[in-house]
Structure 1
Amino acid sequence: MTAPRFEFTISATDGKARTGTIQMRRGEIRTPAFMPVGTAATVKAMKPADVRAAGADIILGNTYHLMLRPGAERVARLGGLHRFMGWDRPILTDSGGYQVMSLSDLTKRDENGVTFKSHLDGTRHTLSPERSIEIQRLLGSDIVMAFDELVPTTSTPEVQAAAMARSMRWAKRSRDAFDGGGEHAENAAIFGIQQGALDQTLRGDSAATLIDIGFDGYAVGGLAVGEGQEAMFGCLDFAPGQLPADKPRYLMGVGKPDDIVGAVERGIDMFDCVLPTRSGRTGQAFTREGPINLRNAKFAEDTGPLDPACACPVCATWNRAYIHHLVRAGEILGAMLMTEHNLYFYQALMADLRDATAAGTLTAFADRFRSEYGRHKERVT
């Protein structure tokens, strides 16, 4: 029997939280799901098999970075992103809009799209809804993201409203371009992105427009960009409920473990963030009692595992003293071990959230997690 193109099933709920599965041609995605970020066709410091062993069902790739290097057309000639990087399960690709607006020297932004200079070599490129969808098709993405315009939550109400309205026009163009994608459209899915900063009315209008266009899933965009957890949670108290209950809800770019727990309580099903891999490369490990910095001298003779409650291969084999040595010496293995542990930590957290939701004990789990996670006060960078 052929697997469905895209099918979301909710198996249990607990308050606003849900747990279930997304069925796609390349495999099942258990929700709530955390997607490790493979920006440039690699989850940094990890082999694909080890990412899968950590528990990841899906990873994220990025249109902006891959269009610049090695180029979407080249990836297509080499058999697509899955073959190129050796990952045979689903891949979601970001549209590139956030990176264009945060990394690039912008030269022009208008109704057509964004013309920008590459942060690599200064060459000029244009990214429009149609070009973003084309790149994602060339990559062979399983879940394609609509192209949108992101503005800071500190922007004026007029700027926020204009950006949301333009994003909705671009969402329709993205949907039309995706539908014209032939065989790719028959095997992939496309998500729309809700915008509107922290404004409930703007977000409601955005959601209504996206629902009218029709998407396989819906992202809550424009958060985790400096507004703080309290403001983000305030928005999540209403934003997910404006989106269809029978479709996946994806909170883009989030986040810290306690951010994820709070977002699951508010009805979010999918997450991505560079934090576990970036932290792994900078000496920070996530533990059940909070993040710890392995650069600190206090770990130089600590013979305990990174996290006594963790069952990952790193914690089963190496101790804090050795990893402290690797990190301080700048050894590549240090980044590899720290990243592997962090990805296991995140995936174990998602499994715990799924289990607690299914058992109807999410509130108790979330309260216990927050209490234990706050024991270490080291800053997550």
Structure 2
Amino acid sequence: MPSPAPNCSPCAPPPRRRPERRSADPHAPRFDFTISARDGKARTGEIAMRRGAIRTPAFMPVGTAATVKAMKPADVRSSGADIILGNTYHLMLRPTAERVARLGGLHTFMGWDRPILTDSGGYQVMSLSDLTKRDENGVTFKSHLDGTRHMLSPERSIEIQRLLGSDIVMAFDELVPTTSTREVQAAAMARSMRWAKRSRDAFDGGGDHAANAAIFGIQQGALDERLRAESAGELTAIGFDGYAVGGLAVGEGQEAMFGCLDFAPGQLPEDKPRYLMGVGKPTDIVGAVERGIDMFDCVLPTRSGRTGQAFTRAGPINIRNAKFGEDRGPLDPACACPVCATWERAYLHHLVRSGEMLGAMLMTEHNLYFYQALMADLRSAIADGTLSLFANRFRAEYRGEK
């Protein structure tokens, strides 16, 4: 047996090397949105920020707890993502925003050196928590983790997002179901606008963070065109870097959502990005882009990947189904992702049915590539003036579960 090389221990691990991180460009604009082409209501362009450019229309993978589940940051970037989303509610509870700040901020903490948008925490507070009090000041709630009591106000939400080092901060708002009475919807919208002003004021007082980050306001008003118009007018008067269409994708169905999107984006400033929160399925995204939306986020590609569902151009498939047990084809013959180039459906079927963690990782990676490829195709179609042709063909080919 050959002797080990001099000064080399055969059992010594290689030296640990952290991957190189791209620094924010101090000469890049804080936030600059340009529209390069239009096709009907749809737009394609770019958001320039200190940590990099965001091509629009853009899909943001969701990194709820400082991780895009089952994915390494470099692989998320390789899928085509320019920006990811982090969650204020979850990070404020664990590990806490203060700890993340002490450890260098969210980008350093999770190893993602490009833009991060953080939501305000309002949706999770109102959907996951045992609410004890909601008033003009904010929301007092019990943690879903351990029952401890916390207060989230516009000022506290902005403070948490500042501590995290978010690139795009979301204003704190109040969400009510679209099935609520108009009186309830109007009251929640009005309160959200008061909270938007407080969020803006708190953001502007954020010193260096405010000089390097952006803040988006959130339009509310359920499915009511007049309430949406009033909300848009108040947000515009306050002034934000971008505007979100909030309060949708909460069970109202695609037809009702599209009905709202037929008017809601057009009520917002033309020269600012428009972000549809929590959307969604591929056909939701295509229809929303046709109606003028520029940014999206959703847990669907990652959550579906962990449960064995893959998105393909012919529609979603459940890889758990027995018919895939000896299928030697790729997940999606039209996909160029590393998963489809390397592994067969039969192997993925085996991994998922066996509960192997690699199955969740590979299915998630494919789904993120699928979503980013869809966004790239939408950008190209808008630039070429062929969006309607592309969208109609996509809908014709994309069907139910196979």
**One-letter code of the match for 1:85?**
M
Measured after TM superposition, the shift of residue 196 of structure 1 is: 0.1
1:357 is aligned to 382
Q: Distance in 1 between matches of 2:324 and 2:401?
A: 16
SS at match of 1:268: coil
**Tell me, what secondary structure is at the counterpart of 1:37?**
strand
Task: State whether structure 2 residue 98 is matched by structure 1 residue 66.
Answer: no
Unmatched 5+ stretches in structure 2: 1-25
Matched, 1:168 2:193: yes
- Verify: 1:259 aligned to 2:284, yes or no: yes
Matched, 1:107 2:126: no
Counterparts of 2:401 and 2:247, CA distance in 1: 27
Give the number of equivalent residue pairs: 377
Unaligned runs of 5+ in 1: none
Root-mean-square deviation (Å): 0.6
Q: Does 1:143 find its partner at 2:168?
A: yes
**Equivalent of 1:242 in 252, 263, 267:** 267
Q: CA deviation at 1:86?
A: 0.1
Match of 2:309 among 277, 284, 296: 284
Kindly name which structure, 1 or 2, has the bigger radius of gyration based on alpha carbons: 2
Please name the residue that 1:328 is paired with.
353
Instruction: Tell me by how many angstroms 1:234 deviates.
Output: 0.1
How far has the Cα of 1:339 moved from its partner?
A: 0.1
Aligned residues: percent identity?
Answer: 88
Please give the alpha-carbon distance, in whole angstroms, between the structure 2 residues aligned to 1:361 and 1:63. Answer: 38
Shift in Å at residue 377 of structure 1? 3.6
CA deviations 1:350-380 (Å, max 9, x no partner) are 0000000000000000000000002x345xx
How is 1:64-103 mapped onto 2 (pairs within 5 angstroms)?
64-103=89-128
Q: Do the aligned residues in 1 keep the contact of 2:60 with 2:85 (CA within 8 Å)?
A: yes
Where 1:264 maps in the other structure, the secondary structure is helix
Matched AA of 1:242: Q
Asked if the contact 2:318/2:401 (under 8 Å) is kept, the reply is: no
Find the partner of 2:233 among 208, 211, 220.
208
Kept in 1: contact 2:30–2:50 (CA 8 A): yes
TM-score scaled by length of structure 2: 0.93
Q: TM-score, normalised by structure 1?
A: 0.99
- Give, in whole Å, the separation in 2 of the partners of 1:223 and 1:295: 31
Instruction: Give the AA of the match of 1:231.
Output: A
1:12 correspondence with 2:37: yes
Partner of 2:57: 32
Letter of the 1:109 counterpart: R
Return the alpha-carbon distance in structure 1 between the equivalents of residues 50 and 347 of structure 2.
42
- Counterpart selection for 1:319 from 344, 350, 363: 344
Letter in 1 for 2:343: W
